[in-house]
């Protein structure tokens, strides 16, 4: 994740998504500074969690 953010230093917002049951992914994303902004219930067994990270003053 960090490598992608470094590759795209001119980007001010990153968005990712993962399944709500992917607790390890969610923990990692929160640790990296991502916050949840949307949830989509696709079925009784699948909910997607959308996360965003706003990056300020890292443009090169």
| Global confidence as pTM | 0.84
pLDDT at position 54 over 80: yes
Q: Which of 26, 15, 21, 28 is nearest to 42 (CA)?
A: 21
pLDDT given at position 58: 56
**pLDDT score of 9:** 84
DSSP states along 3-50: HHHHHTTT-SEEEEEEETT-HHHHHHHHHTT-EEEEEEEEETTEEEEE
More reliable by pLDDT, 3 or 52: 52
Instruction: Give 3-48 pLDDT, tens digit per residue.
Output: 888 888 888 999 999 999 999 999 999 999 999 999 999 999 999 9
Which residues fall within 8 angstroms of residue 11, CB to CB, at 6 or more apart? 5, 55
- Residue spans per domain, the chain: 2-54
């Amino acid at each position: 994740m960090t490598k992608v953010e470094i590759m795209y230093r001119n980007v001010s917002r990153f968005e990712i998504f993962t399944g709500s049951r992917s607790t390890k992914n969610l923990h990692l994303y929160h640790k990296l500074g991502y916050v949840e902004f949307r949830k989509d219930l696709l079925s009784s067994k699948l909910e997607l969690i959308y996360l965003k990270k706003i990056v300020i003053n890292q443009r090169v």
